Structure 1
């Protein structure tokens, strides 16, 4: 498969007919001071096309999770701009960011974060109840059917397998029809069969349902399900890859991990 060459961060955009779901420009995030200072993000820029599954990869410590957390409004940045649609996230107050996350963003975490005392149905609809909204019955039923949860809705998390819990978490992330879903290592706690099923669903959510998904992963197999992979090195987006395969992802990662690839940085 033909891959795009390494490019500068400012030019990393994928063609799309819809406006971008999110845009990050020149993000800087610093932890600590003096000798302990760590620049987790050092001018990271990224455009997330709407209705696609975008994977974020990079060597350990490259800033993958920090980029996702700042774009999702979970963490403030020290410099730069983050736009979710037409909304400038960096100028919002903490209360406004909380509302933004509740109303327009979905999350899928490695640890599931289900409420033990609630049934699967109650866990799925929890974001709607917190927002004071009623469930769209047709959309709820479609999600439940696609994810194969119809006979598990009255079960609590302890009565569900790991794969079923993760599917409940995915349904919860999508039930509000968010503008964008952020998934942080979503297959990390799943076996290969359940992990592949989850990735296939996220791929389908983007391809058939028009959902925008951003997934942080270290797994080339997981990345191969994406429409596009972006790569970070030292807190900057340095390259992207359209139509990835396991082989092309592994090749690009090997290139980025070579010392020569960082020359001139």
Structure 2
């Protein structure tokens, strides 16, 4: 894996790329209602890789979804940069996600009929644009996809598909990339390669990345780990190690 160079991502005018303030999110009604977020507050620093951890049902994926504008909230506020998502209609939120946010999902979500190159360029294609050739080349070479660009997803391994998904997330140079268990379907070698790439994107390019994970080894790649319990932020670790994450989780 090569080192990322020549940052194409503009520097944000603020140090906070996204934030949630006293967010409440409930699914269902009555006796079956589940309060996934119960007054959760979080500030995501620009240009850093932030991991979100917590036990099953703690609200970590829900927090990522509301920060990314994929879900609305019952109360509280969510901002991406200067934009208050609560003031946006669904069409405006869709446009914001397309233009300013990148996603890396565990399930890859590649389009079967498109080649790897077409899948990477898809967010720009939908917006009527084209990838910057130099940035596209850098993503492809850094992720080791040069000889797989003409292959459709069915002809790619799981690791290659996830790397295509990661390239697609960064091809638009988004303000924030959200990654939901990005190594969940990868073996150890390819998982480490992807995590190393995400860390380089944050440290070398100033890319802001929010990653949900249950894996202490994955969390140790982050600049900061945020812990959720019962829908609330319960603390964090800066410059985490695997041992430190395990100790915190055992408390």
Shorter-chain TM-score above 0.5: yes
- Cα offset, 1:17, TM superposition: 9.2
In the other structure, the counterpart of 1:126 is 122
What corresponds to 1:187 in structure 2? 183
Corresponding residue SS for 1:168 = helix
Distance 2:100 2:110 in 1: 19
Cα distance, 1:32 vs structure 2: 1.4
RMSD of aligned Cα (Å) = 1.2
Deviation at 1:72, TM superposition (A): 0.4
- After TM superposition, which residue ranges in structure 1, 4 or more long, deviate above 3 angstroms? none
Map 1:35-184 onto structure 2 (within 5 A): 35-184=31-180
The corresponding residue for 1:250 is 246
Mapped partners of 2:202, 2:223: distance in 1: 9
Number of positions where the alignment pairs a residue of Structure 1 with one of Structure 2: 240
Instruction: Answer whether contact 2:77 2:85 (CA < 8 A) is retained.
Output: yes
1:199-257 per-position Cα deviation (integer Å, ceiling 9, x unaligned): 011011101111100000000000000000000010001101001011000100111xx
Aligned to 1:7: none
In the other structure, the counterpart of 1:232 is: 228
1:89 CA drift (Å): 0.8
Rounded Cα–Cα distance in structure 2 between residues aligned with 1:17 and 1:48: 14
SS in 2 for 1:218: coil
SS of 1:117's partner is coil
Aligned to 1:196: 192
Structure 1: state its 5+ residue gaps: 1-15, 256-265
Deviation at 1:30, TM superposition (A): 0.7
Q: Unaligned 5+ residue runs, structure 2?
A: 1-11
**Separation (CA, whole Å) in 2 of partners of 1:155 and 1:92:** 38
Compute the TM-score of the two structures, normalised by the length of structure 1.
Answer: 0.89
- 2-structure distance, mates of 1:109, 1:38: 24
Aligned to 2:202: 206
Find the counterpart in structure 1 of residue 213 from structure 2: 217
Corresponding position of 2:3? none
Task: Give the distance between the partners of 2:88 and 2:13, measured in 1 at CA.
Answer: 28
Query: Please, what TM-score do these two structures have when normalized by structure 2?
Result: 0.94
Counterpart CA distance in 1 for 2:13 and 2:215 is 29
Partner Cα distance (1:155, 1:58) in 2: 37
